[in-house]
Structure 1
């Protein structure tokens, strides 16, 4: 399974800010860290994607503290680091070139946010021919106002985003399932 690349999307300080509204999956970082730790233990490929907004006022602008990685998710030596400026990690980056050069055909994609960076990256990955798995409990999003002013809870946004990806663009799985089936790990990792 070493041909499966783990892709971490936007594990950045800006998403730890409570001003974004209510978020789902309070254990998301713990689950994501278990997967990252498992991939590192096996020395399997890991790609970190970091969003850099062009908007100077954005908490994801490179001059903001929110641009920085969440401490536990900083890239380590030999892990690829990509900076993106769009929702998809494939737009104006070398991600597809890197994956094809290394012959990675299978991806596990996790991170922030389910309805933006995850959804857009996964859709493009599937269209480019990759087999994609999304661990539903290692992704998260925030409550969202609709065009008509109605508020959708983070749980609803998350569930619908994953439902739209399921079968057509990706397989949806749990962290535990990936840990036991791909990594053959049974003991939990301390986060």
Structure 2
């Protein structure tokens, strides 16, 4: 659709901090850049989402150097949503209201972290009735430890997100090339 919005989630300097651990998909930022360039050239709406962490010492804390966008996401945009939780739909200003007011029903989502803010935002968007596409290779995440010392790699988490989103009917999960194909 001509007015499909690109939602660029949390592409912030703070995710370069070693505190996050091992990441997957070293090509994520290049693919995010390809999407941003295509949306800019087509004059389609771009929404930037920034996580303003309230956790003490977080590299994503508001005012910290890590809160700034990486170069690939520091671009002209129609809306900046700031949030303190996983979903961009619980940020300021109201993303759903902004999209609704503009008649935007189709979203393409990319950003950081695949299994956290990207997945949560995509799930909520699907529940709100949006036509959602996630460009999986334009996301990345980090290894994560769960209960009982279970540790999943970033790649395993990304695969689980893809299965959750597409298998659960929340979104189509595709590549950047698929999104940009004529």
Partner Cα separation in structure 2 for residue 32 and residue 69 of structure 1: 12
Q: Deviations over 1:117-148 (max 9, x none)?
A: 01110111111110100011001110011111
| Aligned residue-pair number | 180
Partner Cα separation in structure 1 for residue 125 and residue 141 of structure 2: 20
Contact 1:75 1:81 in 2 (8 A): no
| Structure 1 residue 150, shift from structure 2 partner | 2.0
Partner Cα separation in structure 1 for residue 43 and residue 151 of structure 2: 43
Map 1:119-134; keep pairs closer than 5 Å: 119-134=119-134
Partner Cα separation in structure 1 for residue 174 and residue 18 of structure 2: 27
Name 2:180's counterpart in structure 1: 179
Contact 1:3 1:104 in 2 (8 A): yes
Partner Cα separation in structure 2 for residue 80 and residue 92 of structure 1: 12
Name 1:67's counterpart in structure 2: 67
- What SS does the aligned partner of 1:44 have? coil
Name 1:188's counterpart in structure 2: none
Name 1:81's counterpart in structure 2: 80
Q: 1:145 to 1:59 in 2, by over 3 A?
A: same
Moved over 6 A (4+): none
Name 1:189's counterpart in structure 2: none
Does residue 27 of the first structure (1) align with residue 27 of the second (2)? yes
| Structure 1 residue 41, shift from structure 2 partner | 0.4
- What SS does the aligned partner of 1:48 have? strand
Q: Deviations over 1:11-61 (max 9, x none)?
A: 100112233111111100001100110000000010000000112311111
| Unmatched tracts of structure 1, length 5 or more | 185-191
- What SS does the aligned partner of 1:142 have? coil
TM-score, normalized by length of structure 2? 0.95
Partner Cα separation in structure 2 for residue 54 and residue 143 of structure 1: 22
Name 1:91's counterpart in structure 2: 90
| Unmatched tracts of structure 2, length 5 or more | none
Partner Cα separation in structure 1 for residue 56 and residue 18 of structure 2: 20
| Structure 1 residue 92, shift from structure 2 partner | 4.1
Partner Cα separation in structure 1 for residue 81 and residue 150 of structure 2: 35
Map 1:149-168; keep pairs closer than 5 Å: 149-167=149-167, 168=169
Partner Cα separation in structure 2 for residue 103 and residue 15 of structure 1: 33
| Structure 1 residue 72, shift from structure 2 partner | 2.2
